[in-house]
Structure 1
Amino acid sequence: MSAEFSTLSAFRDLLEAAPGADQTALGEAEARNGQLTKPPGALGRLEDMAIWYAGWRGTARPEITAPQVIVFAGNHGVTAQGISAFPAEVTEQMVLNFQHGGAAINQLSRAAGATLDVIALSLETPTADFTQGPAMQEDEVVAALNAGWNAVNPDADLLVVGEMGIGNTTSAAAIAHALYGGVAEDWVGRGTGVDDAGMVNKARVVREGVAAHGAGDALDILRCLGGRELAAMAGAIARARNLRIPVILDGFICSAAAATLAETVPGALDHVIAGHASAEAAHGAVLAKLGKEPVLRLNMRLGEASGAAVAINVLKSAVACHSGMATFAEAGVSDG
């Protein structure tokens, strides 16, 4: 698919023009849920998730048969500031591991019946060190947004996006700090496992980056403080909305990327649920800002779409009950 946009302004226009849920299907799904052979509300959040999914897929009895998981990888120039416990070379090494089927996300995607695509984004050319200048120029962030946009399979019926990129928890913390305020220490975490001195250093780096680049709009913040893989996740989430494909968010980095969409256009994440709350300290705070209650709390902090991939089977279970259960009338069971 050719690029759909060539500027951030054009991408913003696409966000503003994105479709909403099918209100007819939503109403029919709610009505069906009220007729199923169970006490009202007995399946808890599974009921809400199924109705939400039905509204976006445009049918009162949907199925999930073609989930897609996409992992985007990028390298960050800000690693020159010593903010990671691992060197930047690990990004490319992990991409090879994904491609050879050896990572957690390979196993979790297979268990969820999902296809897995791994897209490396100019690993040989890290973004700029955002303490020294903007991480990306406009053409670079637009290229990354387009990479995400074009990676979404239009035939998918559910999307999960994830990332691999040494240094990207620092990038995500800087984005969150720029979008939501507070102090840098509110948003930095251990990431790949930095020690206390590393935490102090990460906070310094985030503080300096936000002081230099945190005053623009949300998409400009993504450009100046983000990374190619964060922008690609944002582009994929936006494309999924364009196609009415529901999305499950992964962890802190994915959520920070998605937050730039929500801060650009209100309701831009209405087609999105949060797969899990990660152990990265600031993830819960970002989800609270987004108004997203996580499906799972498993103390995961791996990234690479892993938490969201586990949540695929929860959503599948919700949809299977909603669409497969008999109604009281069909089962000949009295609902009185």
Structure 2
Amino acid sequence: MNFDIKTPNKELIEQLQHKIDFKTKPIGSLGMLEQLAVKIGCIQNTLSPDLKQPTIMVFAGDHGIALDGVSPYPQEVTWQMVANFMAGGAAINVFGRQNGIDIKIVDAGVNYDFDKEWNVIDAKIAHGTKSYLNGAAMTAEQFQLAIKRGADLVVQAHKGGTNIIGFGEMGIANTSSAAVLLHLLADVDLKECVGRGTGWDDEGLKRKYEILKSAVENYKGDSTIENIFAHFGGFEIVMITGAMLKAAELKMVIMVDGFIITSALLAASKMNPKVLEYCIFTHKSNENGHKHMLAHLNANPILDLGMRLGEGTGAAVAYPIIESAVNFLNQMASFEDAGVSNSDKVINE
């Protein structure tokens, strides 16, 4: 699929900054909130942006590489956590309820068949990927289908009125895919990319690294993004990439979560760099490779709370801050409105 992503209207930057500078505060005193307000205003092409129906889509998928020993948790934890999501008991459910965010759970490729009454969104490509230790995780056809299904889900959300969207994930062993993608797409040493995931000790971390090192050495494909991604990716990660590209095409604000979600964005940015113009990086994950992803993308996240849970939790926790940026821009009085004397510097401008 091709995505027609337009550059946000940068001509509004000066007008937005002027509006911000004449609020009843010292210039620059709201720090990153001012940067966020300008970015969102440019994305929405308005001096009075509005966040509508915030949504986080959590994509779940299983990974064949999990059966080769890269995770301390068994594969069935993926579907069990989806059940927890649907029961409203996971962290993402708590933060979604707290902050008025609609949480949607998507089966991208879980090795389990969910009952229809669970209301999991069925976008299943297959019952998990194959192991990429000695072959491709998915076929080229499965890769394209995952991109399309992710994009289609965002179209539905956009038609329903959502203009700000975030993504979460669940998939045992998906930190392994993210680590390999970081290594191959950003040219970061594999040892720096591989982290503890769901909780490896030092010996487990070493074993995970050795398995992934072998998988990379066994790769015989070319260096195109599509082939690398299809070989080492997960259905949920590929689906999120398609969702992000479509969200940018639809001029939606994209909240970027942690390590796995940023790996999807890393791939998306190689397919169409303009997607980055629509992204707000919500937090820095405590997973070691995430700092390298952020550096490669020249990203400055809002929060650094030592989180590494996934599920979209970083985006959900950061959303009220993003909301604050829009609210101060729209609701805070100007010096003239409030009858407050301005500084000579701003008056002279």
Provide the TM-score with structure 2 as the length reference: 0.89
Correspondence 1:13-162 to 2 at 5 A: 13-14=2-3, 17-124=4-111, 125-152=127-154, 153-154=157-158, 155-162=161-168
State the 1:292 CA deviation.
Answer: 0.6
Q: Give the distance between the partners of 2:14 and 2:62, measured in 1 at CA.
A: 45
Equivalent position amino acid for 2:163 in 1: D
**Separation (CA, whole Å) in 2 of partners of 1:58 and 1:244:** 9
The one of 241, 246, 264 aligned to 2:248: 241
Deviation at 1:182?
A: 3.7
Deviations 1:164-220 (A, max 9, x none): 000100010011011122432110000011122221121122222223157422232
CA distance in 2 between partners of 1:315 and 1:332 (Å): 28
Counterpart AA for 1:306? T
Bigger Cα displacement from structure 2, 153-162 vs 167-176: 153-162
SS in structure 1 opposite 2:109? coil
Residue type of the alignment partner of 2:256: L
Q: Which stretches in structure 2 are left out of the alignment for 5+ residues?
A: 112-126, 345-349
Q: What residue ranges of structure 1 are gaps of 5+ in the alignment?
A: 1-10
The more displaced of 34-43 and 142-151 is 142-151
Q: Please name the residue that 2:284 is paired with.
A: 277
Residues of 2 paired with 1:182 and 1:278: CA distance?
Answer: 17
The amino acid that maps onto 1:282 is G
What amino acid sits opposite 1:193 in the alignment? G
1:198 aligns with 2:204: yes
Contact 2:44 2:251 in 1 (8 A): yes
Moved beyond 6 Å, runs of 4+: none
2:327 is the counterpart of 1:327:
no
Looking at structure 2, the residues matched to 77 and 285 of structure 1 have their Cα atoms a distance apart, in angstroms, of: 26
The correspondence for 1:310, drawn from 293, 306, 317, is: 317
| Bigger radius of gyration among the two | 2
Deviation at residue 122 of structure 1 after TM alignment: 2.8
- Is the 8 Å Cα contact of residues 58 and 106 (structure 2) preserved in structure 1? yes
The question of whether the paired residues in 2 share the 8 Å contact of 1:73 and 1:123 is answered with: yes
Q: Is the 8 A contact 1:213 1:221 kept in 2?
A: no
In structure 2, C-alpha distance between the alignment counterparts of 1:146 and 1:194, rounded to whole Å: 34
Find the aligned partners of 2:270 and 2:210 in 1 and give their Cα distance.
25
RMSD (Å), alpha carbons: 1.4
The count of aligned residue pairs is 323
Quote the Cα distance in structure 2 between the aligned partners of 1:283 and 1:183.
13
Q: Which amino acid aligns with 1:22?
A: N
Within 2, Cα distance between the matches of 1:56 and 1:267?
12
For 2:221 and 2:31, locate their aligned partners in 1 and report how far apart those are by CA, in whole Å: 40
Q: Which TM-score applies when normalising by structure 1?
A: 0.92
1:219 counterpart SS class: helix
> 2:193·2:288 contact (CA, 8 Å) conserved in 1?
yes
Q: Return 258-267 or 107-116, whichever deviates more.
A: 258-267
Alignment check: 8 A CA contact 2:5 2:274 kept: no
Once the two structures are TM-superposed, the CA of residue 85 in structure 1 deviates from its matched residue by 1.0
1:147 deviates by: 2.0
